[in-house]
Amino acid sequence: MTVIQKNAPSIVLKGLSKTFSEDIRQANYILENVDLTIKQGEFYILLGPSGCGKSTLLNILAGFIEKSDGELTINGESEESKANRGFVFQSADSALFPWLTVEENVEFGLKMKKVPLAERKEVANHFIELAGLSGHNHKFPSEISGGMKQRVQLARVLANDPQILLMDEPFGALDAMTRRTMQKELIRIWKETNKTIIFVTHDIQEALMLGQHIGIMSIGPSSKITHSYEINLPYPREITSPDFNQYYKVVQSHFD
Ligand SMILES: Nc1ncnc2c1ncn2[C@@H]1O[C@H](COP(=O)(O)OP(=O)(O)OP(=O)(O)O)[C@@H](O)[C@H]1O
């Protein structure tokens, strides 16, 4: 079980830059001098226009791609640390194994770690229940809705007990009503598990529904986090409340 040290830094970036060019002299930087500190247990939103480099930054945090320059520290250790990170992709269709049932998908990581059968069934069932999927254990991904597939993806990631959840527009492909439900569910799950969450979106309303902190990225190239906001609104948040609207106007002003 992961121990959360509230307020201890989870992720620290100092002067982080990324170019995909091989020749550093002609480098076209996607990210340049990104500074960022995210605390353990925090719900942090990376918000920015399409193509500014949000996914690139999240992929660097996941260890999927390498930074070109700067420092990245995760839970006090260098990026090569074994700090356990779980990644939730936008498309559950490409993330889930279609030939495995809901339960088999959720317990997959535990099976790979050779966790004994009884224990992994218990863990898988705990997260299936937490994700609101009870009764669907033996269905295949093709037999459940888009929202339910994202629940399976989330349950599968949580079953591995990551310290950090990295979520790349996980609700982007869902219809508006399902998205709203999933946002509420994610808040509930976050409160129950205390995970650090870094969530990428280009939807201001979604950012304000979910985040304790919102980092706004500038239009690329050479994007960085130019503004940070602490969102002092209680959960669940009301889209129609005057306070919500006030934050919306402030954040929106960066994209006018
Ligand atoms: N492997 C790669 N090689 C070269 N360029 C890349 C690569 N991956 C991303 N890029 C470029 O980096 C820039 C940022 O892309 P990225 O996907 O990180 O943006 P984003 O903010 O997540 O966009 P969106 O919101 O549309 O998903 C884009 O110009 C993209 O073309």
What ipTM does the predicted assembly reach?
0.97
Ligand 1 midpoint to CA 57 (Å): 9
Looking at the 3D structure of the chain, how many domains does it have? 2
Specify if 122 maps to a domain: yes
Residues 6+ apart with CB under 8 A from 178: 145, 146, 147, 171
Nearest to 177 by CA among 143, 142, 147, 208: 147
Strands 43-47, 69-74: parallel, antiparallel or unpaired by DSSP? unpaired
Would you call 200 helix, strand, or coil by DSSP? strand
Specify if 107 maps to a domain: yes
For residue 202, what is the domain's CATH number?
A: 3.40.50.300
**Protein residue closest via CA to atom 17 of ligand 1:** 55
Instruction: Compute and round to an integer the Cα radius of gyration of the chain.
Output: 18
Output the pLDDT for position 169: 95
Specify if 17 maps to a domain: no
Query: Range of 204's domain?
Result: 39-67+77-84+164-256
Output the pLDDT for position 24: 66
User: Measured between alpha carbons, how far is 10 from 42 in angstroms, rounded to an integer?
Assistant: 9
Please indicate, yes or no, whether residues 157 and 169 belong to a single structural domain of this protein.
no
Per-residue pLDDT of the chain (256 residues), as tens digits, is 555 566 788 899 999 999 998 776 677 899 999 999 999 999 999 999 999 999 999 999 999 999 999 999 988 777 666 568 999 999 988 899 999 999 999 999 999 999 999 999 999 999 999 999 999 999 999 999 999 999 999 999 999 999 899 999 999 988 898 899 999 999 999 999 999 999 999 999 999 999 999 999 999 889 999 999 999 999 999 999 999 999 999 999 998 8
Query: To 5 degrees, how large is the angle CA 187–CA 189–CA 191?
Result: 70
Ligand 1 midpoint to CA 220 (Å): 10
Query: Which residue pairs, CB below 8 angstroms and at least 24 apart, start in 247-250?
Result: 247/208, 248/204, 248/205, 248/208
Q: Which of 21, 22, 50, 52 to mutate to test the pocket of ligand 1 (most atoms within 8 A of CB)?
A: 52
Please indicate, yes or no, whether residues 138 and 171 belong to a single structural domain of this protein.
no
Residues in the chain: 256
Distance from the first to the final alpha carbon of the chain: 44
Quick check: pTM over 0.90? Answer: yes
Ligand 1 touching residue 48 (CB < 6 A): yes
User: Measured between alpha carbons, how far is 49 from 46 in angstroms, rounded to an integer?
Assistant: 10
Please indicate, yes or no, whether residues 136 and 147 belong to a single structural domain of this protein.
yes
Please indicate, yes or no, whether residues 189 and 155 belong to a single structural domain of this protein.
no
